[in-house]
Amino acid sequence: MRPNTLKEKMASGQPTTCGWLSIPSTYSAELAGHAGFDTVLVDLQHGMIDFQAALEMLQALSSTSATPMVRATTLDPAAIMHLLDAGAYGVVCPMISTAAQCETFVSACRYPPRGDRSYGPARGLLFGGADYYDHADSHILTWAMIETVEGVKNVDAICATPGLDGIFIGPNDLSLALGGRPGADFSDQKLIDTIEHVRVRSKAAGKFIGIYTGSGEAGSKRIVQGFDMVTLGNDASQLTGAMKAAIASAKGGGAPVAASKTGY
């Protein structure tokens, strides 16, 4: 089976970067894949992307070295199985707040007897190889997204879920859950402490830990803190920031324009 290079790099202690796609474009997916990200994620939850667009974007990513992942719209086992059948090598599932929810999520990603994923890998077989069924359970990455107060309280039980590979922190929703605002600079001490608590508990349980960040600078800080995978903003925020910076430069310069805070 085609190796999951993202999983291999994280397992060896290498920090990794994730390209985040919210625009339904095969060309954008291909560009992101060739840009050098370790993985590129197709976001069906908050991105403007449906299954057909996701399928085509996963196909475009096949021409690159980036590991293809998706964020599911919600905890819907049938939809998650469909995305795996389309060739995703990893799934980020949003709003996981309890161990029971995490068990349902992981089960959808594993074939019996480890789970209840239905057999029919379709394009997964084309991308993964003829022995896909034999090795899919050990290659497919499962990320439970913690972004609620309940999820934080249950982080140890969530991490104890058999077959779960990692925890992914959604800082914007977590900020909201703690009484803050989205798109902030995340300087609130309660949020800082909560993120660190989740990171420490996840690593103690032997899980990979990832987080959404809005820029390369923010991603670098998270890597220093000990995160295994960081995003660096999404395609929409990066495009917006680059266009604004070009306009500012053309009209006389001044201070560089910060990237848009649009993010998840």
Q: Indicate which residues carry an active-site annotation.
A: 46
Q: Measuring CA to CA, which residue among 50, 49, 59, 65 is closest to residue 26?
A: 59
Q: Measuring CA to CA, which residue among 210, 234, 233, 205 is closest to residue 222?
A: 210
The pair of structure tokens assigned to 183 is: 């798109």
The pair of structure tokens assigned to 54 is: 């996701």
Asked whether the beta carbons of 145 and 156 are under 8 A apart, the reply is no
Q: Which residues of 105-129 are buried (b: 16+ CB within 10 A; e: fewer)?
A: bbbbbbbeeebebeeebebbbebbe
CA angle 28/227/163 to nearest 5° reads 85
H or E element in which residue 163 lies:
none
